[in-house]
Amino acid sequence: MYRIVITGATRGLGRALAERFREAGHVVLGCGRRADLVEALRQAFGPPHDFQVVDVANDQAVARWAKQTLADHGPPDWLINNAAVIHANAPLWQIPVEEFDRVIDVNVKGVVNVLRHFVPAMANQERGVIVNLSSGWGRSVDAEVSGYCASKWAIEGLTKALAMELPPGLAAVPLNPGIIDTDMLRQCFHDQAGQYPTAETWSRAAAPYILRLGPKDNGQSRSVPRAA
């Protein structure tokens, strides 16, 4: 049984992963921004799983969540930074300031906030796998998603640098989940998103793949095998 921390656990990929990990007998400790969705997870999962309302872009909120989670459950075996947002499709110069800032605040600074408050405990136990969700747009680019591309390219570099700093026994992996039919994809692809696997289908391959990651993968860009 593993302790698995997931950010953005209330919807999309995070929610699907949480379900698969629970089915496999692991303890899921997650967060999300919407109180109603967090409460729904609490009711559906029950103890020993635990979910809290946290905006990862708020360092103080992350600090409180990490402190309580570590006190109640101990260091995680897997730390999965999944929480992310995207801006509306637009050329770079037309992306509103607040939208661009929110993408960077959640997708980059939010990941750093979570790492800042969980990694020391993982390092002290000398084991653990950090999975920072990247994107195909973290290794390539496309028009009208420049802010999102910038955030995910940042995750690739940040994770690879972090991997060089970790003590033996730990790993940090930038993970491209692939193209999945989620609310975020529909914001970009609209109805064309329906041609891709659902988060439910994707998670059945992704969850076991993530749990096979380890020190051998430290600093390596990985991709979830394509769902059938």
| Catalytic residue status for 2 | no
Which has the closest alpha carbon to 130: 207, 77, 204? 77
Check: CB of residue 110 under 8 Å from CB of residue 66.
no
Dist CA 165 CA 92 (whole Å):
33
Give the number of C-alpha atoms closer than 13 A to the C-alpha of residue 180, restricted to the C-beta side. 27
Nearest CA to 56 out of 128, 123, 8 is that of 8
Backbone φ, ψ for residue 181 (5° rounding): -75, 95
β-strand partners of 80: 6, 131
Helix pair angle (110-125, 146-165), 10° resolution = 20
Cα–Cα distance measured from residue 87 to residue 200, given in angstroms and rounded to the nearest whole number: 24
**Active-site position among 2, 148, 196, 209:** 148
Give the Cα separation of 41 and 50 in Å (integer).
9
CA-to-CA dists, residue 145 to 93, 154, 184, 199, angstroms: 11, 14, 12, 21
Which residues form the catalytic set? Answer: 148
